[in-house]
């Protein structure tokens, strides 16, 4: 044991061995945070703390998985009995045992974001509210915000300030919708993601015996990424660890500088309050960075220094300087893609970097496409993270909805999803009538469906549907999850629906459906026992609980060595030898959405900080002078963050092969020098692409002198055609066949005069 402690530095050791009382670990990027967490757990076990007394909370499944694996490595078998998982999954597990105490069925459904949104939209429709004034997504967001701040519908309705602000925002009835949504979830036996926390809190609050039980049990609570917790999560942590006679063994690990989820309710205030709420809190700062070279670490410190509110911390490294940070200035987004891919080829060829040590990080997922195209062209295997997860795909959700509804007859959203898919003649007007009846008579939607009689077309269709569902339900006890799922897929017509579609998309949908069935089969047949605090359960209901909280499918099919493409958010917690951080332009990174609020800009800056600290040794920062956005070419100024890290010192020395590096040295405080188009020497036969700045196509007129990247200077003779199809005839004296017809839509021409 002492053995493994010796592999830790001093601060890490203290953070690991200070087991009693409240502890806050501020952990810079690459400072061995996960190591500290896992060793701390191993240390506790070593000291004789029983594994079931340890509760380790993370935000993502991936982090949880990683932690479990690493604990197992250091601590062996006992590790599997430690409760380590996401807030959502662990609380949902407890809620499953205790749900009835707070009015939910044990087999409660978990509504995902889409379900929530649909339900809210349905309420707005049913109440004849103006959907312009009450956009379902905004309402959902607001409800989520209220829940994350531990504000129940009743509290909301009494909060004059909120009500007034809603009125000012022209949604005075928001509180009603919130109340309605809350009730409908209760009636449907469904919890949304926020409820998994909120209802768990309620459980502890309203049932002191239950609270006592879990307090006695979880003597040691650890939280990862504490800066990402919201008010409600912190409230739960306090409930569990702060009470009369409590040992107050809460250990929180986080980094305020890496807080990038304020937009979804995370608040750094929790770190600040931690100190006040837990007297005698011991704080450890992990500042030594083991990941990156000095150039990168210094750049990171420089940017983050521009933030106003922060816990003072300077990361350092004893690694060598390493490669300089390199800047690529591209003419446009396509060029950016090409240059990045060229550099990747070079990294592979010269440095022999494997693909999986290379990442392209961007602010918005929409930026991935161009890189994808170029990588494909070079046959470089890549994988795009983010976007739609497996379980969010329509075809997958369709089958899951059937299964959910079979298990929980009150689940309204699933019923609405499947009742007429595949099409069976139960249309919108029928559904509207059913919904009205349900709300008028206080029935669940399914009860309302059951009462729908008659020999009309829809009546018969409904009767057939009811028979089918009842048939499914009868089989719950006799068939295992897989056989039942297969039966449902075939009988409902879902399978054939997708089987008959021969388009590329259709085939992929069928494959996904098959993959889902395979997954269910694996679940039923797996003999791996997962410790859940209750008997291993292979029921359909158990399966559904399991997947409701999964986000990524993560099957590594075939290729394992690929370049990673992902948003900066998705890259948090990861590291790569080489990182290309692309699209460093004002309005894009920092995002245009953040421009009006200094706090938001600070969050963007932390995001930038997270991004550059992913790199171990190679870091490229790229920006394009213009790029397509919403269908039109936009001109972009270079990101302020690029200036803030003061790349003058990181710039590659002269003599570098042409395009890479050059970037104008920012003059102190004056960015103008940077942002105006540099004048290009007229004699330049070969134009320097880093200073070339194309004009917008519609500005090109006959008689103008223009520069073309390949052809050099030319004179526009005439312009024909309309808008998108305009063609210019240009004479370039320096080339063979000087007269060229150039499609302006695609041309990169810079007006000289």
The residues that touch DNA, with contacts defined as CB under 7 A, are 59-63, 86, 88-89, 112-113, 121, 131, 141, 144, 193-194, 263-264, 363-366, 386, 389, 420, 423-430, 457-458, 549, 551-552, 566-567, 569-570, 591, 593-594, 600, 604, 628, 630-631
Active site residue 34: yes
CB of 697 to DNA, least distance (A): 13
Residue 505 C-beta: closest distance to DNA, Å: 11
Task: Count other C-beta atoms under 10 Å from residue 534's C-beta.
Answer: 10
Rounded to a whole number of angstroms, the minimum distance from the CB of residue 88 to DNA is 3
CA atoms within 13 A on the CB side of 463: 8
- Distance, in Å, from the CA atom of 249 to the CA atom of 269, rounded to the nearest integer, reads 20
CA-based R_g, the chain, Å = 29
**CB 131 → DNA: shortest distance, Å?**
6
> Known catalytic residue: 258?
yes
Annotated catalytic residue, options 225, 335, 398, 651: 225
Residue 735 half-sphere exposure, CB side, CA atoms within 13 Å?
Answer: 18
In 76-112, which ranges are continuous DSSP H helix? 87-98
* 736: Cα separation from own chain's centroid: 52
Nearer to DNA, 158 or 364 (CB): 364
Question: With respect to DNA, which residue has the nearer C-beta, 271 or 570?
Answer: 570
Residue number, 426 or 707, with CB nearest to DNA: 426
- Going by C-alpha positions, the residue among 392, 678, 722, 351 that lies closest to residue 547 is 392
Q: How far is the CB of 11 from DNA (least distance, A)?
A: 28
CA angle, corner 19, sides to 13 and 21, nearest 5?
130
C-alpha 12/C-alpha 725 separation (Å) is 64
Q: List 24's β-bridge partners, or say none.
A: 252, 283
Total residues belonging to the chain: 753
Active-site entry in 338, 614, 616, 748? 614
Q: Is 477 a catalytic residue?
A: no
| Residue 731, C-beta contacts closer than 8 angstroms, at least 6 positions apart | 714, 715, 717, 738, 739, 740
Cα–Cα dist 379/376, whole Å: 5
The residue annotated as part of the active site, out of 224, 256, 333, 398, is 224
Catalytic residue chosen out of the listed positions 38, 199, 258, 524: 258
Contact 59, 88 (CB under 8 A): no
* Nearer residue to DNA within complex by CB, 418 or 687: 418
The minimum distance between CB 328 and DNA, in angstroms, equals: 21
Tell me whether residue 614 is one of the annotated catalytic residues.
Answer: yes
User: Is 528 noted as a catalytic residue in this protein?
Assistant: no
Q: Residue 522 CB: number of other CB atoms within 10 A? A: 11
**Between 426 and 516, CB nearer to DNA:** 426
Q: How far is the CB of 592 from DNA (least distance, A)?
A: 8
Distance CA 337, CA 330 (A): 9
**DSSP string over 344-376:** HHHHHHHS---GGGEEEEESSGGGHHHHHHHHH
Given the residues 14, 17, 19, 34, the one annotated as active site: 34
**CB 358, CB 562: distance < 8 Å:** no
Rounded CA gap, 621 and 634, in Å? 20
Which residues fall within 8 angstroms of residue 505, CB to CB, at 6 or more apart? none
Q: Would residue 741 show up in a list of annotated catalytic residues for this protein?
A: no
Q: 223 or 647: whose CB is closer to DNA?
A: 223
Q: How many helices (H) and strands (E) does the chain have?
A: 30, 20
State residue 414 phi and psi, 5-degree precision.
-65, -40
Closest distance of CB 25 from DNA, Å? 21
When the beta carbons of 255 and 298 are compared against DNA, the nearer one is: 255
Q: Please, what is the minimum distance in Å from the beta carbon of residue 87 to DNA? A: 7
As annotated, the active-site residues are: 33-34, 224-225, 258, 614
């Amino acid at each position: 044991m002492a053995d493994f402690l010796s592999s830790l530095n001093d601060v890490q050791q203290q953070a690991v061995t200070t087991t009693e009382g409240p502890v806050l670990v501020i952990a810079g990027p690459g400072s061995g945070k996960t190591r500290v967490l896992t060793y701390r757990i191993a240390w506790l076990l070593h000291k004789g703390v029983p594994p079931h007394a340890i509760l380790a909370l993370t935000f993502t499944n991936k982090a949880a998985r990683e932690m479990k694996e690493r604990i197992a490595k250091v601590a062996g078998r006992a590790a599997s009995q430690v409760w380590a998982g996401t807030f959502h999954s662990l609380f949902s597990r407890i809620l499953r045992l205790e749900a009835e105490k707070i009015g939910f069925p044990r087999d409660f459904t978990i509504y995902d974001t889409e379900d929530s949104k649909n339900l809210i939209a349905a309420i707005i429709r049913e109440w004849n509210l103006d959907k312009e004034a009450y956009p379902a997504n905004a309402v959902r967001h607001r409800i989520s915000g209220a829940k994350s701040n531990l504000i129940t519908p009743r509290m909301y309705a009494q909060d004059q300030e909120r009500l007034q602000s809603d009125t000012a925002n022209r949604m005075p009835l928001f509180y009603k919708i919130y109340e309605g949504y809350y009730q409908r979830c209760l009636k449907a036996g469904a919890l949304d993601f926020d409820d998994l926390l909120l209802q768990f809190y309620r459980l502890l609050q309203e049932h002191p015996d239950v609270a006592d039980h879990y307090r006695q049990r979880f003597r040691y609570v650890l939280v990862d990424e504490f800066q990402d917790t919201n008010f409600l999560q912190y409230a739960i942590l306090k409930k569990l660890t702060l009470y009369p006679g409590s040992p107050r063994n809460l250990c929180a690990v986080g980094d305020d500088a890496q807080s990038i989820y304020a937009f979804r309710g995370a608040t750094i205030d929790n770190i600040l309050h931690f100190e006040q709420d837990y007297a005698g809190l011991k704080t450890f700062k992990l500042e030594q960075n083991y990941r990156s070279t000095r150039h990168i670490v210094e750049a990171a410190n420089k940017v983050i220094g521009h933030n106003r509110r922060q816990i003072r911390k300077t990361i350092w490294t004893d690694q060598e300087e390493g490669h300089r940070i390199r800047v690529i200035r591209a003419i446009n987004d396509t060029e950016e893609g090409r240059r990045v891919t060229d550099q990747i080829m070079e990294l592979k060829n010269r440095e022999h970097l494997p693909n999986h040590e290379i990442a392209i990080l961007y602010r918005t997922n929409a930026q991935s496409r161009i890189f994808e195209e170029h990588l494909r062209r070079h046959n470089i295997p890549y994988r795009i993270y983010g976007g739609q997860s497996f379980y969010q795909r329509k075809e997958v959700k369709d089958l899951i909805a059937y299964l959910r509804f079979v298990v929980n007859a009150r689940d309204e959203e699933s019923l609405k999803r499947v009742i007429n898919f595949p099409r069976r003649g139960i249309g919108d007007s029928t559904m509207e009538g059913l919904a009205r009846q349900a709300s008028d008579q206080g029935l669940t939607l399914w009860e309302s469906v059951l009462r729908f009689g008659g020999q009309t077309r829809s009546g018969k269709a409904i009767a057939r549907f009811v028979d089918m569902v009842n048939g499914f339900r009868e089989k719950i006890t006799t068939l295992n999850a897989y056989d039942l799922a297969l039966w449902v897929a075939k009988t409902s017509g879902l399978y054939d629906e997708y089987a008959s579609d021969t388009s590329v998309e259709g085939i992929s949908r069928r494959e996904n459906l098959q993959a889902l069935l395979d997954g269910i089969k694996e679940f039923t047949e797996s003999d791996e026992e997962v410790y859940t605090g209750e008997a291993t359960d292979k029921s359909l209901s158990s399966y559904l609980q399991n997947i409701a909280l999964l986000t990524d499918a993560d099957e590594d099919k075939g290729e394992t060595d690929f370049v990673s493409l992902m948003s900066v958010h998705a890259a948090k917690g990861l590291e790569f030898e080489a990182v290309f951080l692309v699209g460093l332009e004002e309005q894009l990174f920092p995002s245009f959405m953040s421009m009006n609020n200094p706090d938001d800009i600070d969050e963007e800056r932390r995001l930038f900080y997270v991004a550059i600290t992913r790199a171990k040794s190679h870091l490229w920062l790229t920006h394009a002078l213009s790029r397509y956005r919403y269908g039109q070419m936009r001109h972009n100024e270079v990101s302020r963050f690029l200036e803030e890290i003061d790349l003058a010192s990181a710039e590659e020395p002269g003599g570098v092969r042409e395009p890479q590096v050059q970037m104008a040295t920012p003059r102190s405080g004056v960015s103008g020098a940077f942002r105006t188009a540099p004048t290009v020497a007229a004699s330049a036969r070969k134009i320097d692409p880093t200073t070339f700045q194309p004009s917008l196509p519609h500005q090109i007129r006959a008689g103008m002198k223009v520069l073309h990247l390949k052809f050099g200077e030319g004179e526009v003779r005439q312009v024909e055609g309309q808008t998108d199809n305009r063609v210019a005839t240009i004479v370039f004296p320096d080339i063979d066949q000087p007269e060229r017809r150039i499609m302006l839509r695609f041309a990169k021409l810079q007006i000289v005069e």
